[in-house]
Amino acid sequence: MPTLQAYNISYQFDKGDTLFENLSCSLTQRRVGLVGRNGVGKSLFASIISGEQMPSTGTVTPPNSYAVYRQQASELLGSELSIAQYLGVSEILAALNNIESGDCDDKWFEIVGEQWHLPALLHEQLATLGLPEDPNFLCAKLSGGQLALLQLWQLFKSDVQLLILDEPSNHLDESAKQWLINAIKHFEGTVLLISHDRALLREMTEIWELSSTGLSVYGGNYDFYAKQKQTEQLAIERQLAQLNKAQKKLVTQAQLNQEKAEQRAAQGNRLRKGGSQSKMLLDFKKGKASASNASRNKNQQARQQQLQSQTQELTEKHEQVSRQKLYIAGQQSNAKKAISVIDGVLPFGNIHPISLQVFANKKLHLKGNNGSGKSTLFKAILGEIALSQGELMVNTPLCYLDQHFGVIREELSMLANMMTLCEGMIETDARTLLAGIGFRRDAVYRLGKQLSGGEKMKLAVLVISHQVYQPFLLLDEPDNHLDLASKQLLAKALFEYRGGFILISHDLDFAKESGVNCEYQL
């Protein structure tokens, strides 16, 4: 029996814009991944099919029970809750403390029940998750990754029928992500995973793709889905080639028909002038030819419209499955030392000395668990903080890109960003470059704060590409909030970048596709 069903659901905003329409689905598999580009409505779609939100039209048979993980944890960040209070065990721990202090009131024993081993068990579980082992530790003081783990752990302990996980791995390091994969495997209910993380999507048994053309279902994990998408792209490209060929043939045939009609008309005029045939007969032939020509033109126009409609439909599908192109310009870097750290000790994070040499032509993957000091090392390289001890030498221009692409100035337009951040850039060149990544005419006046993560990424890459001196890149989880298409677009651009970079990313697929050729573990 399906966990949930939805029939012909649509969602329309108050202003009248339609996000999606006439979507139907049936959740029968226990592990389903929901993918799609950012902004297509995945989170809203999930909230509708779970029964949490009403669709504009259509019907939903929701699950008996469900729970949702959302990326935002603002209620915990702004609260005074401790870990124990969030987990709902503070009262039991307090009762145990009272009993240990010699207070033998019956009410404490009633509260404890059979949970005498809770402190030891909780201590062990918190340590396993890499969370503070003190249950009285405030949630507001936890890191983003620790908050995510705490929320996920609480959800996986529930016995709900459906668990919706919306981008659960965004702040998780490799060990935490492996814990999440194991938790998904052993969860007894159904999991609907909204994610761009291929490691998690490989654990799914079915992939749903939400796009502007509707909802498509692929009966396998991410690798099966990716292979099917590639097959779809090739098939659409073949169909487009056939349609283009048919359109050219139709145009050629129309030209031939027009030439023949003109030749027949000229021959009729000659006969009319020569007087060898009666005027009545010539008028009859002319009328018949005109009717035949009009009918032929009408059929050709109808066929042309049909071919154009088919081409437009296939082009829209092709845009859904094809990858865009993005290129980071640059010269081939030489093998000079770009960054050297000798016995460097960070002021916080990693307490062990770091010795690291990175050459200008190297693409290094900087690995380590959350809290190990990766971002702190970047701050030291950028000169924002000083090492506690050791030496640090930087012998190259640097460019820092984080997951929010903070290099882009939010108060400036895309055009102004290009002209401000790229020395010597003139407006005509900036417009040409922006058109190359899909922003033409008045679109170049959109402000930085109005751009999506993927759009900011494209603009940031364009800015990097047109610096006077080729920079060495410091990439601090630039893929964290990107959808699959944007991740792959950025990875390809980094792979083709002729300079060097240091990349922090917990997505091993993204790191590999970016062309990393060495790694350093903190």
Residue with tokens 């949930």: 4
CA pair distance 514, 498, nearest whole angstrom: 12
C-alpha 101 chain-centroid distance: 53
125 exposed, middle or buried (CB, 10 Å; 0-12, 13-18, 19+)? middle
Burial 370-407 (b: 16+ CB within 10 A, else e): bbbbbbbbbbbbeeeeebeeeebebebebbbbbbebeb
DSSP 276-327: -S-HHHHHHHHHHHHHHHHHHHHHHHHHHHHHHHHHHHHHHHHHHHSPP---
- Contact residues for 87 (Cβ-Cβ < 8 A; gap 6+): 122, 135, 150, 154
- The sign one gets for the Cα dihedral 163, 149, 85, 72 is negative
- Contact residues for 263 (Cβ-Cβ < 8 A; gap 6+): none
**Quick count: other Cβ atoms within 10 Å of Cβ 292?**
13
Q: Are 209 and 224 in contact (CB under 8 A)?
A: no
| Residue 284: both structure tokens together | 């009859």
Number of H helices, E strands in the chain: 17, 17
CA pair distance 206, 415, nearest whole angstrom: 42
Look up the pTM and report it: 0.75
**Bridge partners of residue 447, in order along the sequence:** 413
Each residue's pLDDT, cut to its tens digit, for the chain (522 residues) gives 788 999 999 998 877 778 889 999 999 999 999 998 887 889 899 999 999 999 999 999 999 999 999 876 557 777 788 888 988 888 988 888 888 888 888 888 888 888 889 888 999 999 888 888 889 988 888 888 888 899 999 999 989 999 999 999 988 888 899 999 999 999 999 999 999 999 999 999 999 999 888 999 999 999 999 999 888 878 777 777 777 777 777 677 777 777 666 676 666 566 556 665 555 655 555 666 666 666 666 666 666 676 566 666 656 555 554 555 666 666 666 668 889 999 988 887 667 888 999 888 899 999 988 878 888 898 999 999 888 888 999 898 888 888 888 889 989 999 999 999 988 888 988 888 888 877 888 888 989 888 887 888 888 888 888 888 888 999 998 888 888 888 888 888 889 888 899 999 999 999 999 999 999 888
**Bridge partners of residue 60, in order along the sequence:** 6
CA pair distance 183, 178, nearest whole angstrom: 9
* Nearest alpha-carbon partner for 282 in 297, 299, 264, 300: 264
